[in-house]
Amino acid sequence: MSIQIRNEGEISAILGKTPADKLVILNFYAAWAEPCTQMNQVFEAIATASPNAATYLSIDAEDEANASATEEYDVSAVPYFLFLKNNTFLQKVSGADPALLKSAVEKHSGFGTLNLPAKQTTVSSGSASNGITTADGAGGEDLVEDINVRLGKLVSAAPVMLFMKGTPAQPQCGFSRQLVALLREREVRYGFFNILADDEVRQGLKIFSDWPTYPQLYYQGVLIGGLDIVKEEFENDPDFLRPGIAPPPPPPTAD
Ligand SMILES: N[C@@H](CCC(=O)N[C@@H](CS)C(=O)NCC(=O)O)C(=O)O
């Protein structure tokens, strides 16, 4: 079984007492992201099949207590696996790719071939980005359709979804930083997508939602707006986005 990390200090303590030749694998995940659920199962299956091959750490990338770790290890998307030995970076595996994760463990642990149940090593049909599994577009009309299908899934990936520049732990723009601070202040739980890591989403969502800028906040797949709108909503309604209470309808257009 992997070790569930509760704060950044636990990672340092474990790294500090791990022998120099032993592999350490950090699994950064988000609870709301379906590809993370799948990869968490693969991670646990590997840890169970080969408990001595590595020290296996599971880290909730959205937990405030782990914010400095996600910053230090530059986690901009989940699932995200980091391979370390003697505190030195060896490899990262980003996205939901069970076969790649398995082969990276085999390569760096020196423990040979891992025997896992077949279903644990099947690569899903899509590629993963920012924690969301996407369809592989074939081109032309199919591709356009796939982008819209993908965006439709993305905006509903969590009840409250924030599309931002950077991550909550490391916002890359003042507007995104302010919106993260507002949500944190109001204790709103949300999923996030770093649009700087995916230009297709960055440009596509502007058209899809007819909103030209970031951040963009969605509630149950419906656009609420950018920073100015969300700020206004919080000022006008103390219950805005409070769990169990629906927000007012979204504004018709960006100005
Ligand atoms: N007043 C806007 C500010 C947001 C904004 O102007 N964002 C710009 C700069 S970070 C943006 O996203 N530009 C489009 C882009 O970078 O793709 C709001 O309420 O959200």
The per-type count for the chain, helices as H runs and strands as E runs, is 9, 11
Task: Quickly count: other Cβ atoms within 10 Å of residue 10's Cβ.
Answer: 17
Reported confidence tier of residue 245, pLDDT bands at 50, 70, 90: low
Q: Can you tell me the distance from the alpha carbon of 66 to that of 64, in angstroms, rounded to the nearest whole number?
A: 5
Number of domains comprising the chain: 2
Beta carbon of 211 within 6 Å of any ligand 1 atom: no
Q: Pocket of ligand 1, candidates 175, 203, 223, 235: which has the most ligand atoms within 8 Å of its Cβ, to mutate?
A: 175
Average pLDDT of the residues in 27-51 = 88
Going by pLDDT thresholds of 50, 70 and 90, the confidence category of residue 125 is: very low
The answer on pLDDT for 47 being more than 50 is yes
- Atom from ligand 1 closest to the CA of residue 230: 19
Predicted TM-score (pTM) of this structure: 0.54
How far apart CA 5 and CA 44 sit, in angstroms, is 14
Mean pLDDT over the full length of the chain: 83
Question: Is 251 part of any domain?
Answer: no
Evaluate whether residue 227 is within a structural domain.
yes
Is 24 inside a domain boundary?
A: yes
Task: Give yes or no: residues 94 and 159 share one domain.
Answer: no
User: How many C-beta atoms surround the C-beta of residue 61 within 10 A?
Assistant: 27
Q: What is the pLDDT of residue 122?
A: 43
Q: Residue 57: beta bridge partners?
A: 3, 26
pLDDT given at position 222: 94
CB-count burial class (<10 Å; 0-12, 13-18, 19+) for 150: buried
| Residue of 227, 183, 230, 228 whose CA lies nearest to 247 | 230
Mean pLDDT on 100-127:
71
Residues 6+ apart with CB under 8 A from 71: 169, 170
Give the closest residue (by CA) to ligand 1 atom 1.
228
Domain match, 151 and 93 both: no
Q: Are residues 7 and 95 in the same domain?
A: yes
- Please give the share of the chain, as a percent, with pLDDT higher than 90: 47
Q: Can you tell me the mean pLDDT for 89-101?
A: 87
What CATH number is attached to the domain comprising 54? 3.40.30.10
Higher-pLDDT residue of 139, 161: 161
Confirm or reject: Cβ of 226 under 6 Å from ligand 1: yes
**In this predicted model, what pLDDT tens digit does every residue of 170-220 receive, in sequence order?**
888 899 999 999 998 888 888 888 888 888 899 999 999 999 999 999 999
89 and 155 share a domain?
A: no
pLDDT for the residue 157: 84
Residue 207 lies in a domain: yes
pLDDT digits (tens, 9 = 90+) for 14-37: 999 999 999 999 999 988 777 788
Taking the centre of ligand 1 as the mean of its atom positions, its distance from the CA of residue 174, in whole angstroms, is 9
Considering the domain architecture, whether residues 20 and 101 belong to the same structural domain is answered as yes
Torsion of Cα atoms, 246 then 250 then 251 then 255, to 10°: 120
Do residue 8 and residue 94 come from a single domain? Answer: yes
With beta carbons less than 8 A apart as the criterion, state whether 152 and 161 touch.
no
Inside any domain, residue 135:
no
Q: Which of 47, 81, 109 is the last residue of a domain?
A: 109
Question: Are both 174 and 227 inside the same structural domain?
Answer: yes
Provide the residue range defining the domain that includes 99: 3-109
Q: Is residue 242 situated within a structural domain?
A: no
Residue nearest to atom 6 of ligand 1 (CA): 213
More confident residue, 198 or 230: 230
Instruction: Assess whether pLDDT exceeds 50 at residue 129.
Output: no
Q: Are residues 164 and 67 in the same domain?
A: no
pLDDT at 140: 40
As a whole number of angstroms, the distance between CA 198 and CA 216 comes to 15
